[in-house]
Structure 1
Amino acid sequence: MSEIDETRRGGTALSLPACTVPDPSTAPGLRWGVISPGHIADQFTATAHRATASRVVSVVSRSSQRAEEFASRHGITHWGDSVEEMLSRGGLDAVYIASPHAQHRDLARPVLEAGVPVLVEKAFTLNLGQSRELLDLARARGVFAMEAMWARFLPQYDVLRQVLAGGLLGEIIEVAADHGQSFPPDPAHRMYAPELGGGALLDLGVYPVSFAQMVLGDLDDLAVRGDLTGTGVDAYVALLARGARGGRARLSSTLSARTPTEAVVSGTLGSARLEGAFFAPGTLTVSLLDGRSAQFAHPGAPGDGMAYEIAEAARRITAGQLESPLMSWEDTLSVMRTMDAMRAELGVVYPGEERA
């Protein structure tokens, strides 16, 4: 169960809104296909089987041996090295794509063309143009599509959205968030490889950018600073921006050092803090200027965070909806638009893109 820690001043306790997120185990069970069985796909599959009614029934990798090993580890019936074969076999309610960013567009397109709902890892694609292409296709075919920004579906994010909607923090002045991890320099590693969409921004920085967009709306008036690696991708990037709903964003990301990975929303009446890692199951602390504070702790197992996005996709797909309001198509396009502008300012251009 979640834990609420309250402080009183003058006999009045601060109470946070109740979480409205349903238990993931109550969502309809879907038959999933998985494309690109790496580490994050391993987490997705294990979580789906452990904490939801959904099951992964097919897996595809460029290496048939890798697919077979993944299938054996998770009790999956079908495996292979062909997306087309997986789709032609049928029996799928949805497909999860967990490849590097540079492959998302080309892997998601045949799935959508086959009329199968798709959940695509963040960042959704390499750039805004590719995202528009996929979402236009999803709209034309009447097929569900969603960016797998798992943080947005967590219980503490639900409580935070209610806190903001209720005006508990007053006028929002600033959103601050960081995400840094330490990856030793290695031109062969995907984080350093331009051909795989490498760099801190699309892999790590997408979390702070998406968080700020959720709180403040579309970001503009961007001021960007950063440093590049020897391979030409971003090693560090920082952003100051203004939100469409008011307030400023102060964001940073790096692949060269581990940072606190916290997010803080500061308003005229108080602040809300998601402690590291702010994008994973954890604790939300709301502190008001009148001295009162309260906490909301993740109500489930810490390792089952991905269950909430799996459950959200299952509910929307079963209801015949094309998108989720928690991570809408417009949200995805807004985040991609901001990241495109940040990369342009830094001079990061991926193979196949034209330099701005």
Structure 2
Amino acid sequence: MSFPHSLPEPRLPDPAGGPALRWGILGTGWIAERFVASVLRHTNHQVAAVGSRSEEGAQRFTGRLGGEPLGSYAELVAHPRVDVVYVASPHPQHVEHALLAIAAGKHVLVEKPIAIDASGARRIAEAARAAGVLAMEAMWSLCLPKFRVLRRLLDDGVLGEPTMVSADIGEYFPDAHRIHDPALAGGAMMDLGTYPLTLATWVLGAPTEVAAQGVRGPTGTMAQTTMMLRHGDAQSALHASALVETPTVAAISGTDAWVSLDGPWYQPGSFTLHGRDGGQLRHLEAATAHDGLYWEALEVAHCLGEGRVESGIRPLDATIATLEAMDQVRAVTGDRLAGES
């Protein structure tokens, strides 16, 4: 295929279109604050209620960002004004809290990873499908404009046959950070490794062979993991670290062209399409970090507005496939998690 003259436009939902969802926020941590701030800043959605393990915790959150404070998760999922529950509790509790919301008839957007293993993800998928409600993993990267452009490039064959994905992600976290806590499924894979694994499976499909090595951190969790995966005739080389800062860049290489994604590649930002003849096209996107979280809320609204209970951007089967790959990686490195099925 000849090198294009321009990049395709992303197909984006209208921030003012679709239903104005009323969110229930389950959990009041760092990511919940950033999700709510982004949604309120960029959409017409509302925060109806916030649930915490204590009413005081909920009140501290709602005092900054609004919503009705509730002192239990059961109250939150039963709230009549809540359309969708955003599950932002610690990783080992995602399945329990997603199932709680689904049983109450609520749609759910569950922070990534949707569960700590594929078994938990299957339980959520089965429950949501049986109840006829939407369940989606909050893999926000894939909802961003740049990833919608990348999807079109891949689907249109601009890269030719994709044969290689390389991606790294690394941040330094002090020993006391919850990412190093064994009781909270700590280590690099849940918070960080899920991003490059998602990219690899999104481009190349599920791996057919897995090789990996891990390094344990000061608390005994697997704080750094390097992965080499085979996807049929293609490969991916991936790395995640909670011990050190890394460039956090990525590349997708095909037989006709390749893409280099600026770091941090999983956040809003720019990328370059490179042709074999030296041609280049640049996608420019403001690097707004977690202010881009609202795109996943818009995807939920877009699905529900069309009467769909599963996202085409992040289907449940794709989420399960990523977690199956993560299970394989962790089996190779000996990364056993508290609460694992």
Structure 2 match to 1:203: 191
Letter in 1 for 2:139: M
Long gaps (5+) in structure 1: 1-8
The runs of at least 4 aligned residues of structure 1 exceeding 6 Å deviation read: none
Relative to the length of structure 2, the TM-score reads 0.95
Long gaps (5+) in structure 2: none
Q: 1:1-356 residue pairs with structure 2 within 5 A?
A: 14-76=5-67, 78-186=68-176, 189-244=177-232, 246-298=233-285, 304-353=291-340
Letter in 2 for 1:37: T
Does the aligned pair in 2 maintain the 1:270–1:288 contact within 8 Å?
yes
Relative to the length of structure 1, the TM-score reads 0.91
Secondary structure of residue in 2 paired with 1:219: coil
How far is 1:353 from its partner?
3.5
Does the aligned pair in 2 maintain the 1:123–1:147 contact within 8 Å?
yes
Q: Can you list the C-alpha shifts for 1:169-212, whole angstroms capped at 9, x where unaligned?
A: 222221000111001223xx311112211100011010000011
Does the aligned pair in 1 maintain the 2:52–2:58 contact within 8 Å?
yes
Equivalents in 2 of 1:145, 1:237: separation in Å? 29
Does the aligned pair in 2 maintain the 1:98–1:121 contact within 8 Å?
yes
Secondary structure of residue in 2 paired with 1:136: helix
Count of residues paired in the alignment: 340
How far is 1:53 from its partner?
1.1
Secondary structure of residue in 1 paired with 2:208: strand
Letter in 1 for 2:20: G
How far is 1:263 from its partner?
1.1
How far is 1:312 from its partner?
0.5
How far is 1:87 from its partner?
2.6
Secondary structure of residue in 1 paired with 2:16: helix
Q: Can you list the C-alpha shifts for 1:78-100, whole angstroms capped at 9, x where unaligned?
A: 11221111233311110001111
- Mean alpha-carbon deviation: is it higher for 39-48 or for 316-325? 316-325
Equivalents in 2 of 1:348, 1:23: separation in Å? 41
Secondary structure of residue in 1 paired with 2:48: strand
Letter in 1 for 2:245: R
Equivalents in 1 of 2:75, 2:135: separation in Å? 21
Q: Can you list the C-alpha shifts for 1:242-278, whole angstroms capped at 9, x where unaligned?
A: 225x421110001000111111001222210111111
Percent of pairs with identical residues: 37
How far is 1:303 from its partner?
5.3
